[in-house]
Amino acid sequence: MKRVKIVVAYDGTNYCGWQVQPNGLSVQEVLEKHLSDLLCEEIRITGASRTDAGVHALGNVAAFNTSARMAADRISFAMNTRLPADIRIQESAEVPMEFHPRFANTVKTYEYRIFNRKFPDPTKRLYSFFYHYPLDVEKMQRAASYLVGEHDFKSFCTAKPEVTNTVRTVYSLDLKREDDMITLRIRGNGFLYNMVRIITGTLIRVGGGFLEPEDIPKILEAKDRGAAGETARPEGLTLVKIEYV
Amino acid sequence: MKRVKIVVAYDGTNYCGWQVQPNGLSVQEVLEKHLSDLLCEEIRITGASRTDAGVHALGNVAAFNTSARMAADRISFAMNTRLPADIRIQESAEVPMEFHPRFANTVKTYEYRIFNRKFPDPTKRLYSFFYHYPLDVEKMQRAASYLVGEHDFKSFCTAKPEVTNTVRTVYSLDLKREDDMITLRIRGNGFLYNMVRIITGTLIRVGGGFLEPEDIPKILEAKDRGAAGETARPEGLTLVKIEYV
């Protein structure tokens, strides 16, 4: 018996998210089916991040146990010939039996892309959020700076009954504009449910002039989801990488 | 009666190309249907570039005549509420009755994107060509320099019986690598059938070490399609813009 870690990239457009759901096809389900076929035994995987429907990943992480003899580093190649084109394993490696992708200490990096101009570009629509009102990125960056550090992000998450501690640390939160694409990149030690999308929705309100950068500390203090902006749409969000530290 | 020019962006993934075909849905067909519905008369459009199945466009150009009273510059907004998400009009404007999008003098710009690393990124698969052997971009750039200028590109096109003059002028042909994405950008006064894709296929052979940059002049001289490389896949190609000069 050995334990294998896989790093997985996927286009979330056609999935109900990472986790198995009754009402749609999940990334986990597709991986488990093809791993089970490949390794000729029932495989159950544990994912690091349960991304939502429509959210993309370049480097989500999962792990599973197997008694199959195939070398762990060959599993990526063998799986990529079987998987649908919208899921690709980037790496497979043997890890200690006690490795748990979710309960280990990690630094996660997400990107949210906002396509900001008069008319949409159809070739960008699946991997960014189209927003046609002008956005002031400099103001958004100033607002973002208030979110860096350790804070109670209760205002910036969708409540889940099992989550009682809403303090998280954001290591960096940077925005840049390249032509019409604004990319928000955030690194942290963990993210609450919808946290990146609510931060983005709030920064879009700042960029559009509906909030001031100086409102961000008040929103944090409010500890009330109603104080922050909308949950930005899923297609703009990509889980870039998970570092085990 | 007035003549209207439209600039159209589309994701070519789900179309059989620009031009109406018996065996699939074309971009032209979708535009004509929605223009006819919007303007309450039968609209027939003439496109500048008949892009192939799977090829994308950020700025293809088309023109049509209409007796409808809607202001030409409002047609873009009205159409974009009706069109499927993979087609968006970027601009609509009244033009002289004699304007012909294809027979006017133009400078066309195309981009071909090659995603070059070990494993595919599913979020790039629809808008680039995945190639996993290492490519030497510096060599590809040297090879490309032989194609700039006025040449007989007979070796770099798929023959069409009606095309007898295969001399074209390439104004520039530049390659750059950003992380794992190599972008080839080519500007010229006109392109033969499959010309950009055959140039790309040939430069990939150079980048992979199967041809030398110095082979390019010989391929041009051969005036034989068999001397050049493969026709690169359509999904990497985007018609960026058409300038009327």
Q: How many structural domains does chain B have?
A: 2
For residues B193 and B123, membership in a common domain is answered with yes
Question: Domain residues for A38?
Answer: 2-95
Q: What DSSP string runs through B171-214? A: EEEEEEEETTEEEEEEEES---TTHHHHHHHHHHHHHTTSS-TT
Alpha carbon distance B28, B12 (integer Å): 12
User: Between B58, B76, B122, which is nearest A87 by CB?
Assistant: B122
Q: Which of B95, B130, B146 is the last residue of a domain?
A: B95
Residue of chain B nearest A124, judged by CA positions? B11
For the cut 90, the answer to whether the pLDDT of residue A23 exceeds it is no
For residues B117 and B162, membership in a common domain is answered with yes
Cβ separation B123–A121 shorter than 8 A: no
The CATH number of residue A81's host domain is: 3.30.70.580
Q: Are residues B81 and B132 in the same domain?
A: no
Name the band, by pLDDT with cuts 50, 70 and 90, for residue A32. very high
Binding residues of A: 110
Given this model, what pLDDT does residue A38 score? Answer: 98
Instruction: Report the alpha-carbon distance of residue B135 to residue B129 in Å, rounded.
Output: 13
Report whether A195 contacts A156 (CB < 8 A): yes
Residue from the list A87, A89, A123 with its beta carbon closest to the beta carbon of B238: A123
Task: Please confirm, yes or no, whether A52 is among the known catalytic residues.
Answer: yes
Q: Does the pLDDT at position A219 exceed 90?
A: yes
Q: If you count residue pairs, one on A and one on B, with CB atoms under 8 Å apart, how many are there? A: 65
Domain-embedded: residue A239 = yes
pLDDT for the residue numbered B74: 97
Question: Which band of pLDDT confidence, cut at 50, 70 and 90, is reported for residue B163?
Answer: confident
Same domain? B229 vs B125: yes
- The alpha-carbon gap from B123 to the nearest alpha carbon of chain A, in Å, equals 5
Indicate if A186 and A222 belong to the same structural domain. Answer: yes
Q: What is the pLDDT of residues A84-99, one digit of tens each?
A: 999 999 999 999 999 9
> What does B99-136 look like in DSSP terms, one character per residue?
--TTTS-EEEEEEEEEE-SSS--GGGTTSSEE--S---
Summarize pLDDT for B94-119 with one digit per residue, the tens.
999 999 999 889 999 999 999 999 99
Report the alpha-carbon distance of residue B148 to residue A166 in Å, rounded. 59
Q: For residue B180, is it within any domain?
A: yes
Residue A101 lies in a domain: no
Residue B129 confidence (pLDDT): 98
Last residue of a domain, one of A52, A71, A95: A95
Q: Shortest CA distance to B48 belongs to which of B90, B95, B105? A: B105
Please indicate whether, in this complex, the C-beta atoms of A11 and B125 are within 8 angstroms of each other: yes
Q: How far apart are CA B62 and CA B239, in angstroms?
A: 13
Burial class (CB in 10 A: 0-12, 13-18, 19+), A231: buried
Q: From A87, which residue of chain B is nearest by alpha-carbon distance?
A: B122
B36 and B114 fall within a common domain = no
Q: A166 pLDDT band (50/70/90 cuts)? A: very high
Residue B23: the pLDDT is 85
Q: How many CB atoms lie within 10 A of CB B99?
A: 16
Which CATH number fits the domain that encloses residue B141?
3.30.70.660
Compare CB distances from A122 to B88, B121, B125 and report the shortest one's residue: B88
Task: Give tens-digit pLDDT for B112-153.
Answer: 999 999 999 999 999 999 999 999 999 999 999 999 999 999
Residue B101 lies in a domain: no
The answer as to whether A61 is a domain residue is: yes
pLDDT-derived band at B161 (thresholds 50, 70, 90) equals: confident
pLDDT digits (tens, 9 = 90+) for B229-241: 999 999 999 999 9
Q: Does B131 share its domain with B190? A: yes
Same domain as B151, residue B87: no
Q: How does pLDDT run across B63-104, given as a tens digit for each residue? A: 999 999 999 999 999 999 999 999 999 999 999 999 999 988
Last residue of a domain, one of B95, B116, B142: B95
Predicted confidence (pLDDT) per residue in A103-155, tens digit: 889 999 999 999 999 999 999 999 999 999 999 999 999 999 999 999 999 99
Q: Identify whether B100 is part of a domain.
A: no
Looking at the fold, whether A137 and A18 belong to one and the same domain comes out as no
- Residue holding tokens 């096109």? B157
In a domain, A100, yes or no: no
Whether the Cβ atoms of residue B228 and residue B219 lie closer than 8 Å to each other: yes
Residues B87 and B112 in one domain: no
Q: Which residues of B touch A88 (CB under 8 A)?
A: 119-122
Which residues of B does the annotation mark as catalytic? Answer: 52
Q: Are residues B229 and B116 in the same domain?
A: yes
d(Cα B33, Cα A88) in Å, to the nearest integer? 38
Q: Are residues A54 and A149 in the same domain?
A: no
- How many Cα atoms sit within 13 Å of A43 on the Cβ side? 28
Catalytic-labelled residue, pool A11, A37, A52, A179: A52
CB crowding A75-108: b at 16 or more within 10 Å, else e: bbebbbeebeebbbbbbbeebeeebebeeeebbb
B64 has which bridge partners? Answer: B4
Closest residue on chain B to A59 (Cα):
B121
The fraction of chain B above a pLDDT of 70, given in percent, is: 100
CB B231 within 8 A of CB B199: no
Question: Can you tell me the distance from the alpha carbon of A41 to that of A6, in angstroms, rounded to the nearest whole number?
Answer: 17
Question: Which residues in B lie closer than 8 A to residue A119 (C-beta atoms)?
Answer: 9, 76, 80, 88-90
Cα separation of B141 and B183, whole Å? 11
User: For residue B212, what pLDDT band results from cuts at 50, 70 and 90?
Assistant: very high
CB contact under 8 A, A88 and B123: no
